[in-house]
Structure 1
Amino acid sequence: MQTKTHKQLFACFLAVLLIVFAALPAEAKTAEIRSPVYTALGDSIASGYKLNQSNNGYVGLFGSYLSAQTTNLARVGLDSAGLLKLLNSDQATVDQVKKSDIITISIGGNDLLPIFSALQPTSPTSLVAAVQAINGNAMQQKFQNAVTHFGQNWDKIIAQIKKLAPHAQIIATTLIDPYEGMVISVPVIAHFDLGGYADGYIKQINAVITGHAKSGQYAVADAYGLFMQHKTDKLTNADLAKLDFDPHPNAAGHRLLFQAHQAVALDFTQDALALSGPSRIVIPADGKSSHAQFSAQPLLSCFTTANASAQTAYTMEDPGATGAAIDVSTGTLYVYKPGTVKIKATLTTANGKLSAETIRTIRVTQALVTQAEWKQWAVPAGIGLAVLAAVLLILLLPRRKKRRPHDLPADREKTPV
């Protein structure tokens, strides 16, 4: 009986401890720093086609810059319809996109290129026929249809990526004009500006990419504009003297493509920052202010390696009715009235290329008694609780039963004289 009572008391003691510890605020845990997951989608340009080493392509350069886990899903010959199909039905593509932090898209060139490829000349004689065909109404209609189909597919591509990875940062690359400055001189047609001809349709596709970016669903790496700034440089494999119309960028071109992506400030909004600090702040009953300290720690390696000089700024997203204020640099939050307040921590690298942010809602309550009243009642209340606990313990402890003579063992009973 005594052992059973002791077990009951011990169980009660454990229950009280669990209740007490459950009521205590949990300490913020700092998650381990991980590499961002970068996935490249697209065609042969993204795959690094014809480069000596694929790591020299813009995807490899950008992945290294981000200190990312890079997966290149680009495929040679892929057009917008093919990419949409992969995003809808290829399980490996779907799974990879779902876990991505950053996604780049290079698509659209192959919507136009097959039309050009069908006309690629192999000799000066066939060059005349190719130019005449390109200038024909039927060929122009094919190009226009390709632009229209791209626009239809593009909206669906972005919608599907956002569905699979709603928090991932998406960067779309504009098409380059690989034939810029290439003017064909033939006997039948004195001058044919191949670069200018291609540019008209390339600009239409780029208008779709840049125009739809205004919705804020993705950023644009303006490869077209950057290549135009360096149009006197040799940036693609195309060479009119050799009748080589290969539109793919060379190593120098891929370095420019990387710069176009690097120039886009990436804004990470998921699992990039951990914000430590209380989720509830209590202000005194006498109406005086209270304050708490918050601290943001980066969780992605791109903020801790090459960009270790990143700075954090703390701002008020929504002060509510609390009359709150926050120190921008230290993260100290000052509150004056009960309510809720939203604070935002923003981490930006020194070069301004990468940024991350997190928003947290803080509940502000007011104490029922002042500190002086608490001190006045705390000691008596503590003594009273201690006395009550002692009384309960005494009442619950089993009483020792007094043995009577007839309860003694037979061998211990006294022998009559």
Structure 2
Amino acid sequence: MKISWKDSGDKASYDLARFSRMFNLRRPDHFPRAVIDATCAGDVVAGVKLAIQQNCQVAVRAGGHAMFGWSLQNDSILIDLGNWKEVVVEADSSVAKVTPSTTGEELNNQLQAYGLMFPTGHCPGIGLGGFFCFKVVKNWGWACEKIIGVEVVTATGELLLCNDKQNAELYWAARGSGPLFPAIATRFHLQLLPYPSSGFLSSTYIYPSALYRQAFEWVQSIVPEADEDTEIAMTAFYPDSEHEVCFKLHFVTMKSDATAAENALLKLHQSRPSGALRESICQKESLTHLHEEQAMANPDSHYYHTDNAFLADTANVTDVLRESFLGLPRGKSYALWYPMYPRSQRAVSDMALSIPSNHYFTIYTISETENAAAQSSKWVDMTMAKIREHAVGSYVGECELKLPHEWYWKGQNAQ
């Protein structure tokens, strides 16, 4: 087990370990007492016991994509899981057992050989350990609902298996508590889905800013009638060839056969508003292509600032989000609206995650310099303060956790 100490050993090695794989260049200036390169459950147990011996806190890093650098805590023992990647597939039962630093791309690349998939996010570099708070595709439900078990190391260094039959409280917390999970996950047991190889299609429409209202109100109107296996999103961004913000309306359907997928997308196509700058209808899609697109939209070696909100169902979403969409800073930044309906209207599984909202909105500002990042951060904070007047909460995975717990977890879950 490799340990890099702050006050002894090579400073360059310590700094390399401290920032290892951290995606965002916007990082807290914090210094762990030591960084442990964990490559097995025994290393995690040893790291926890070292922290007990040293009388200090434990921090954990899985994939390094946490935008606010939660893994960097002063005077802590940082247990870095980044070099521990294992995937075991039990194809007969459609179950995978996966270590937290394994990315969604890495997992799905292996699963496709078995004709299986797991509904991870499109961004390829995010470790599963930091991902499981979110992701929902229409009627499929939350990704963390597909966790059927989790192996953890407790604060006393005990290794436990948690599921609905044993250690149920930790199993409940593992599905939605995010950075406040009171243990260290070492392996997830996941229920898998069939890979829709023949019925994986997408349609894309790019609209100019002048058609913001028409495009946004159209996509909101079709959500209730859209096929349950179709993912819907609207993104504001600046195309390389355009000087004004444009809106990408993206529909990805995953059906068992191509005809059903094509029919689902053509039904939506018939009611689209005119005036699109570009259209791409019923194109063959794949997880690989979706990962490639997201990698391009989220480049390495940049300064990121993000915030998000779940909007109240009573809000006029088009008006509430207008300023944030149309006022997006120029460059590589983008803003995203994602409908949670109809899953948001159904009873949530017995787990920590609980978000009663039909609408999710998030902003990612992407800057090349610290000065530009500071200006973008001010804009995000000002913009989101206005939006929160019409919101009911935020996704815990990508915000600074400055508000009371009741903002991120509802009712008794917050307690």
- Settle same-fold status: TM greater than 0.5: no
The structure in which a higher percent of residues are strand is: 2
The structure in which a higher percent of residues are helix is: 1
Higher Cα radius of gyration = 1
TM-score for both structures, normalised by structure 1: 0.22
